[in-house]
């Protein structure tokens, strides 16, 4: 049986715990989350455990990355299950601050996120990456770990954070880890809880779209717009209720590609009922 992780609610206690490990010469890993943990999050903890002797996880539903019409208030909070899962996974510390610790009333400094934030999610969710970059910068200052782990399910978020780490010279090593999927292909997401049984089935359109695009590419179709159309058809067949984007892009800059004659990324955002789902894969 594992030792339960220490719970830190203040900046000082979290920072001290990391610094103490580092002072002893230990390497520390950090997995920032919004809780509602699933196997995807736990794979990040496992990756951290492999690389670092001390693993910190933050649980904080960050209000600044939600738009005014978004699901901040109904975002799932599952503390007891999260705590049990992190104990089982062997995390050593949970940083779970109250919102007023992260955003006191006088707070007003933010991160202007890197260029790669402008497209796709940046267009659909104005201010989202400003909120993400700001909270991640703050968390990296509070939990000054050696390694940080993020899931590729949020592919553009990975690029935003990778570029912020680079551009701000943050002394942390960024790691992106593969998306974890349900047996039928649906990407793990805290928002999957919102789906009823019928919606859950229709949500597979994203996976089927990616599979179809890969199959067509393997069969020789290299035109990016035509491959996107293959995905759109799968999404319409599911059907999803709204397609926000289907985009084949440069995997590093997210610039538009016309022909898939080199590594590319396929990114999808669609709604099933009121639930917004995103997914992506390499091509």
Contact 190, 36 (CB under 8 A): yes
DSSP state of 118: S
* Residue with Cβ nearer its own copies (169 or 261): 169
Q: What are 206's two structure tokens? A: 């994203």
- Does position 15 interact with its own copies (CB under 8 A)? The reply is yes
Compute CA 264 distance to the chain's CA centroid, rounded to the nearest angstrom.
19
Is 175 part of the annotated catalytic residue set? no
Q: Which of 26, 81, 123, 141 binds its own copies (CB under 8 A)?
A: 141
Contact 31, 56 (CB under 8 A): yes
Sketch the per residue contact string, 173 through 212, with its own copies: x for CB under 8 A, - otherwise. Answer: ----------------------------------------
- Does position 32 interact with its own copies (CB under 8 A)? The reply is no
* Residue with Cβ nearer its own copies (161 or 238): 161
Q: Which of 26, 77, 79, 107 binds its own copies (CB under 8 A)?
A: 107
Pick from 126, 135, 132, 113: nearest CA to 68: 126
* Residue with Cβ nearer its own copies (11 or 72): 11
Q: Which of 31, 94, 137, 277 binds its own copies (CB under 8 A)?
A: 137
> What distance, in Å, lies between the first and last C-alpha atoms of the chain?
41
- Does position 144 interact with its own copies (CB under 8 A)? The reply is yes
Residues 154-173 binding its own copies (CB under 8 A) are 163-164, 166-171
- Does position 17 interact with its own copies (CB under 8 A)? The reply is no
Q: Which stretch binds its own copies (CB under 8 A): 132-140, 177-185, 211-219, 274-282?
A: 132-140
Q: What are 212's two structure tokens? A: 């179809």
Contact 223, 258 (CB under 8 A): yes
The H or E element that residue 258 is part of is none
- Does position 136 interact with its own copies (CB under 8 A)? The reply is no
Q: Which of 1, 3, 23, 197 binds its own copies (CB under 8 A)?
A: 23
CA atoms of 41 and 177, how far apart (whole Å) = 10
Neighbours of 1 (CB within 10 A): 5
- Does position 130 interact with its own copies (CB under 8 A)? The reply is yes
- Measured at the CA of 137, the angle between CA 244 and CA 19, to 5 degrees, comes to 140
CA atoms of 254 and 200, how far apart (whole Å) = 29
Compute CA 271 distance to the chain's CA centroid, rounded to the nearest angstrom.
18
* Residue with Cβ nearer its own copies (61 or 221): 61
Active-site positions read 41
Residues that bind its own copies (CB under 8 A): 11, 15, 23, 106-116, 130, 133, 137-138, 141-142, 144, 163-164, 166-171
């Amino acid at each position: 049986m594992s030792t339960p992780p220490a719970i830190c609610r203040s900046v000082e206690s979290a920072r001290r715990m990391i610094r103490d490990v580092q002072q002893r010469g230990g390497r520390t890993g950090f997995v920032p989350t919004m809780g509602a943990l699933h196997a995807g999050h736990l794979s990040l903890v496992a990756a951290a455990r492999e690389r670092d002797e001390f693993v910190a996880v933050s649980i904080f539903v960050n209000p600044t990355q939600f738009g005014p019409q978004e699901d901040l208030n109904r975002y799932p909070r599952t503390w007891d299950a999260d705590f049990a899962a992190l104990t089982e996974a062997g995390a050593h510390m949970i940083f779970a601050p109250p919102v007023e610790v992260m955003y006191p009333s006088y707070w007003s400094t933010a991160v202007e996120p890197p260029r790669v934030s402008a497209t796709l999610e940046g267009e659909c969710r104005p201010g989202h990456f400003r909120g993400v970059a700001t909270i991640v910068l703050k968390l990296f200052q509070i939990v000054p770990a050696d390694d940080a782990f993020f899931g590729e399910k949020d592919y553009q978020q990975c690029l935003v954070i990778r570029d912020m780490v680079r551009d701000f010279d943050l002394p942390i090593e960024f790691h992106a880890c593969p998306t974890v999927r349900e047996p039928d292909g649906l990407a793990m997401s805290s928002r999957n809880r919102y789906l009823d049984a019928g919606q859950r089935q229709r949500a597979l359109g994203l996976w089927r779209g990616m599979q179809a695009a890969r199959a067509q590419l393997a069969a020789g179709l290299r035109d990016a717009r035509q491959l996107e159309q293959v995905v759109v058809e799968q999404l319409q067949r599911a059907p999803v209720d709204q397609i926000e984007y289907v985009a084949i892009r440069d995997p590093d800059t997210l610039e538009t590609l016309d022909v898939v004659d080199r590594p590319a990324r396929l990114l999808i955002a669609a709604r099933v009922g009121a639930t917004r789902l995103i997914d992506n894969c390499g091509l």
